[in-house]
Amino acid sequence: MTVAGTERRRQLATAFIGTALTLVMGAVLIWGFHLATNMRANITALQSASALQNYPEEIAHQLNTLRDRLEVRAYSGQALSDLQATVTRFDQELKKINTGGNSESPQLDRALLLWHQYRPVLDPVVAFAGQPYVESDSAGSALSREGRKHYAEVKQAQLFAADNARPLQAQLASLASTLQHSSSDAADHLRGLLFVGVIAALMLAGAAAWFQRARNRQERVARDATEQTRDILKTVREGFFLLDANYRIGSVWSEALTRMFSRNDFAGLSFEELLQNLVPAATLSTATKYIKLLWGDRAHENLMKSINPLGQLEITMDNGHGSKETRYLQFDFHRVMGPEGVKHVLCSVGDITSSVLLARELHDSQENANQQLDMMLGMMHVDPLQLVSFLDTAETGLKLVNTILREPARTDAEFRKKLNGLFREMHSIKGEASALNLKSIASRVHSLEDMVSDCKKRPELSGNDFLPLVLKLDDLLAHLRGVREMASRLTAIKDTPAGIAAQTATLSTTMPSMKLSAATPAPPAPVATPERGAPRSVEDLRPALQSMAERLAHDHSKRFKLTMAGLSEVPTAYSATIKDCLIQMLRNAAVHGIESPDVRQANTKDAEGTVRVEFRKISDGYELVFEDDGVGIAPDSLRTAAVRKQMITEEEAAGMDTRATMALIFRPGFTTQDGVSMDAGRGVGMDVVARSVYALGGKIGVSTHPGRFTRFKIVLPPSEAASSTAVA
């Protein structure tokens, strides 16, 4: 404690001496600057006063010259111009001396007084601008009336200058002498101040050198102590270091920190600098605030440990081989108390990467098992034939997506054309997966759609932008193969009595809240597996559509009932197209058409909406009517949305009639919804519907009444004509 007190007193004395010398030097410099400024002003005034001593005699001489020329009727213009210039210069220089900080000089005051007496007699002469002479044949050149007056003024000024030139000159000479003495005195003072400043600078340099020497000695002692302590901490596996009140690491730390952070310059490093560029900015900000809280005297240490944000910290750093690796560190903090409160904070750091990776692997395994169980339970409610048909259709569609991805393209326009094709194929697959409530497939396709959407937003596309899509597509195809394998196993289990009993037991274990029938149902009759890619009847899709309608109503807080008629009349050749159209239009009706119950009741409607689907045979083919009693379609909202998405200009929107406005619905990428959800927002659904209908040689029309209904009518030719069109 005595050594520490002596060292502290030495530091205080050094600081006092350095501060005093600094203040002395500062005062010397400020006063010296003031003296130098005054010297410069005095020297300038001295030069001006010396130059002005000759002006009174020159003015008197020029007045004599002007008078002589007027008496002999000679040209007087040049003499008057010289006089005017001399008077102007004298007046300016005298004013400059007066405004240069010498206004308190009595010699200057008397000179100014004399000059002010000059002005009444000089101003009329200087201001003369008339013709002094008149010419006549009899008398020759004579003074004009203005000339006689001018001559009298010149003579008066000449007499006044003759009497007062020497007094004015004497005052200016006295002023110059005074200014010279002032400049000499200021120079002496400045030399004295500079001498004092040099002495103070030398003393300050000596104090700084002494302080630096003492500091170097302290640093050597600190380095020795650090080396001794590190020898002890080399065998510790955890990282240890102390933080001071400035949140900086002390001079002692364990060797493990070097391995954890791949650096060895910890002394004096702030805690924020330690984690900078290793963790996100938000995490770094939270950690810094937490460290500051530890220094509060009222902070409860056990409570602070419970809210430690660095209990598991993920950092990314170089592994020494040119790549990055992720590690997980656990920080723990303990306050070191001193007589005056918190003295240091002891930080211990442990590398828990192995534990975290093991826990994550166990969690991923659990999640994977849960996902497979959820997928299996969902598949159990899907008709096996519909599931197999969907998987065939999905694999065919994804193969087409793969073909589109592999198509060669060079320009940005060709790349964007590929993206539009990808959107249409994936949207159809996602729609049918949602209808069958196959959430795992729908979510993966939706994620793939997000990647395509991100590509469309880029200013310029290249082949490298499609590589992530290929990887995501491979993952989706692998998932479909897993679903197909699981579907085959479920079908095999369902076809045996033992499998039915096991299925019942599994359901009773995994879903205890469901009420099972008291009687065990008879095993279903074996059903032949359809050929891959064989079309299915739309009537078989009725339960899936009803289930999809219920899900859409729940997800979007709507209430509506779905009625379907005539689906059994759909020809086999039209099954796939009608199925895609119904799924897309049902999603549009649930998201855009049907209002919420509160809005419907406010508009004097039933709280529950109605969506009607009817398929029937007509004289020249078939007709599908899809109608909802929702909000309808306002043409103005369509035009506004198209302008907002920069699909048309405001001028084009103003010139569009109702028919052209309604056609916007079927444009690729058009949607009135700002956000993107699982069921809407891509602007692809109605484009898919229109393309499918047109591919069969059909027509599609839309009629609406804002606030009342929206009706889509699809007319298809006889199935034989559609087949021939498709072949052609």
DSSP for 527-576 reads -PPPPTT----GGGGHHHHHHHHHHHHHHTT--EEEEEESGGG--GGGHH
Chain centroid offset of residue 12 CA: 48
Q: What is the pLDDT of residue 636?
A: 85
Ordered by start, the domain boundaries in the chain are 2-211, 239-358, 372-503, 536-728
- Return the closest-CA partner of residue 628 out of 655, 596, 590: 590
Please tell me the CATH code under which domain 372-503 is placed: 1.20.120.160
Task: Tell me which residue has tokens 């130098």.
Answer: 36
Query: Pairing mode, if any, of strands 560-565 and 609-618?
Result: parallel
135 Rama sector, left if φ>0, alpha if ψ -120 to 50, beta otherwise? beta
Q: What share of the chain is helix, strand, coil (3-state, %, to 5)?
A: 65, 10, 25
Does the domain at residues 239-358 carry the CATH identifier 3.30.450.20?
Answer: yes
CB 614 within 8 A of CB 713: no
- Within 10 angstroms of residue 484's Cβ, the number of other Cβ atoms is 16
CA distance 185 to 176: 14
CA distance 115 to 259: 89
Q: Which amino acid does the sequence have at 532?
A: R
C-alpha radius of gyration, the chain, whole number: 50
CA distance 395 to 296: 63
Q: What is the pLDDT of residue 468?
A: 78
Torsion angle defined by CA atoms of residues 297, 298, 302 and 305, in that order, rounded to the nearest 10 degrees: -70
Supply 255's token pair: 């060797």
- Return the closest-CA partner of residue 550 out of 437, 439, 446, 628: 437
Query: Pairing mode, if any, of strands 699-705 and 560-565?
Result: unpaired
CB 309 within 8 A of CB 330: no
Task: Name the 3-class secondary structure at 517.
Answer: coil
Supply 651's token pair: 């001028």
Q: What is the pLDDT of residue 623?
A: 92
Q: Provide CB contacts within 8 A for 527, sequence distance 6+.
A: 384, 385
Distances (CA, A) of 307 to 299, 314, 315, 459: 12, 17, 20, 45
CA distance 93 to 677: 85
Question: Residue 681 burial by CB count (10 A; 0-12/13-18/19+): exposed, middle or buried?
Answer: middle
Residue 561: phi and psi, rounded to 5, are -115, 145
Class for the domain spanning 536-728: alpha beta
CA distance 617 to 621: 6
Residue 132: phi and psi, rounded to 5, are -75, -20
Distances (CA, A) of 667 to 684, 689, 690, 692: 8, 11, 9, 14
Q: What is the pLDDT of residue 679?
A: 62
Supply 143's token pair: 């003074």
CA distance 174 to 718: 126
Handedness of CA 31, 35, 40, 45 (dihedral sign): positive
**What pTM does this model have?**
0.45
DSSP 310: T
CA distance 542 to 563: 10
CA distance 379 to 354: 37
Alpha helices in 618-698 (DSSP H): 635-644, 650-654, 658-662, 685-695
Residue 228: phi and psi, rounded to 5, are -65, -40
Give every residue of the chain whose pLDDT is below 70, as ranges: 1-7, 10-11, 35, 38-42, 45-47, 51, 100-104, 139, 226, 229-231, 297-301, 303-304, 319-323, 364, 367-386, 389, 423-424, 427, 435-437, 490-537, 674-684, 720-728
Handedness of CA 675, 676, 679, 680 (dihedral sign): positive
Q: What is the pLDDT of residue 614?
A: 92
CA distance 387 to 544: 11
- Return the closest-CA partner of residue 56 out of 80, 91, 81: 91
Q: Which amino acid does the sequence have at 462?
A: S
Residue 182: phi and psi, rounded to 5, are -65, -40
Q: What is the pLDDT of residue 516?
A: 33
Task: Tell me which residue has tokens 């009639």.
Answer: 657
Q: What is the pLDDT of residue 589?
A: 87
- Return the closest-CA partner of residue 268 out of 284, 282, 254, 247: 247
Distances (CA, A) of 92 to 99, 104, 290: 11, 18, 71
What value, to the nearest 5°, has the Cα angle with vertex 11 and ends 7 and 17? 145
CB 165 within 8 A of CB 59: yes
CB 562 within 8 A of CB 613: yes
What value, to the nearest 5°, has the Cα angle with vertex 270 and ends 269 and 271? 120
